[in-house]
Amino acid sequence: MKKLLPILTALLVCGASATAIASSIGLSFADGSPCGEAIANQPFVINVFVQMGDDAAAGGFTGAEFRIDGLDPAWFMTLTLNPAANILLGDPVNGCNVVFPVCQGPPVVLLFSLSCISSTPVDPRVLRVVRHSTPSNPDFPCPLVTLCNFPDFSIVCVEGGTAYVNTGCLVGTASKTWSGVKGLFR
């Protein structure tokens, strides 16, 4: 986890601009990239994290609710929850809630890692963070986080991240920036 946070932070900072940044629940592969390869009978890892932006979630959060569209329920998946979290309800295919006992601060917090393996070839696919299939509050039909404002614990919608499996995608950043990120893995 110690190696993951600097990687995710570097990815997020590289894409930052002068405009406000919305908070999001993002996806990345073990190398920090939103693009990855899945080969039959070989494990691959998908990391799920919250990036706090310049919006209401900037001060931190205590929980997240969402699901990941595009995961194949036939994949064998092992979820490793962030050790700081104390509750996981549901699963990422149908919808899950991850809860922390104390406020989690900016800029990036790992929710969990999914170690996946498929016994068959994996078709190209896009993974998207979307609203929980049965949201706890129907007034918030979106991926969401719960803020740290005890005792209210306000709910705010956040953007859902995207990851690309076996699509051969290129990350849309300048080559100089991407070279810097790749350097983290050398």
Nearest to 25 by CA among 57, 2, 3: 57
Domain ranges of the chain: 4-183
The per-residue pLDDT for 14 is 44
Residue 88: Cβ-neighbour burial (10 angstroms; 0-12, 13-18, 19+): middle
Q: What letter represents residue 1's amino acid?
A: M
Q: Which residues contact 56 (CB under 8 A, 6 or more apart)?
A: 23, 147, 154, 156
The C-alpha atoms of residue 139 and residue 155 are separated, in whole angstroms, by: 10
- Going residue by residue through the chain (186 aa), what tens digit of pLDDT does each one get? 444 444 444 444 444 445 678 899 999 999 999 999 999 999 999 999 999 999 888 999 999 999 999 999 889 999 999 999 999 999 999 999 999 999 998 899 999 999 999 999 999 999 999 999 999 999 999 999 999 988 888 999 999 999 999 998 765 544 434 444 444 444
Q: What's the CATH class of domain 4-183?
A: mainly beta
The per-residue pLDDT for 171 is 52
Q: Which residues contact 79 (CB under 8 A, 6 or more apart)?
A: 88, 91, 92, 112, 113, 114, 115
pTM listed for this prediction: 0.80
